[in-house]
Structure 1
């Protein structure tokens, strides 16, 4: 199997109990649903089929991401790979929205206001973080800890959250803040970036949605 050098693989966690109930999670810590467990295993099997072997893995402090990562590594036969968990990769803090059903939140705050809080770059939900604030804590950690490993030739796996990954994609894909509302990452979706030793830039190589059995 080919060893994928200078490669960064990003994966969103599998479906969580809050995802299933359409609740805002943020820093809440729901477990994976049975479907989320299956999604994570499928993502791992997909990466195994594609020949991936990882040199390092990173995740957040939240169990839905950590469990997804553990299931992926088990599918790859790499359960002994050292993992670094850091709060910089946590989901954005949804503040007063956390724990609310999305329908309930729209009724309480208004449809347009909730859409703006969810999708825009700068809007801050009460007591929470904007996407810009999420990126401000995530990007320095990425540049200091993860990117150097990729530049040195490693194959690195990061399992995190919809919004923490969206904030990272803004930099990697050079997405204008006005267009970030259009960017969505599915549960257990795999995003692959490649680089080389000569350049700090990483380029999107693939987006893979693992196929689930119905």
Structure 2
């Protein structure tokens, strides 16, 4: 059985401040660092062959903390923009509550939770999936299919796009998917890449 562990980075400073983050490179909050340490503790029994992450600091730092806790600081790590968070365009840096006051709750909900509606200057979840899934198929699945145990540390929306693919969720189902920060999510896959089992650790 092939093992894939997904982790959404620990809480970032802008998660804490309720801001749209997207591709802005903000650090982890102190709580986010603690979440990463807790994730590492839950993965003590695992030994990974390779890790993948985005090019954003909050994901990279989460991965570094996890690898430090499990004693695999020399693990091969590939960083790629394909795993970056969804790009929120003109909303980046704005407080979510203030954005609702300005544009209305319905419009902001549509920007955040529609599958194919882009915020001004940004990406939809569909756009995010169109870079995440090909990257998975080109880079991550080949490593898994070789029998390697893989760790991916990324972001709420890039992981939603990946889980949509793994669990064959519909466009409607993926909109209900919320991935908590810092929680390791184990997927076990068969030789064809089908998910046999998945659970949070």
Normalised by the length of structure 1, the TM-score is 0.91
Aligned equivalent of 1:8, options 4, 15, 27: 4
Instruction: Give the unaligned 5+ runs of structure 1.
Output: 209-214
Counterpart for residue 29 of structure 1: 25
Distance (whole Å) between structure 2 residues aligned to residue 204 and residue 130 of structure 1: 28
Normalised by the length of structure 2, the TM-score is 0.97
Aligned equivalent of 1:138, options 122, 132, 137: 132
Aligned equivalent of 2:115, options 100, 113, 121: 121
Aligned equivalent of 2:189, options 186, 195, 201: 195
Q: State whether residues 119 and 181 of structure 1, in contact with CA within 8 Å, keep that contact through their aligned partners in structure 2.
A: yes
Instruction: Give the unaligned 5+ runs of structure 2.
Output: none
Aligned equivalent of 1:19, options 15, 20, 25: 15
C-alpha displacement at 1:119, in angstroms? Answer: 1.5
Distance (whole Å) between structure 1 residues aligned to residue 134 and residue 100 of structure 2: 33
How many residue pairs align between the two structures?
201
Distance (whole Å) between structure 2 residues aligned to residue 114 and residue 178 of structure 1: 17
Counterpart for residue 106 of structure 2: 112
Moved over 4 A (4+): none
SS of residue matched to 1:11? strand
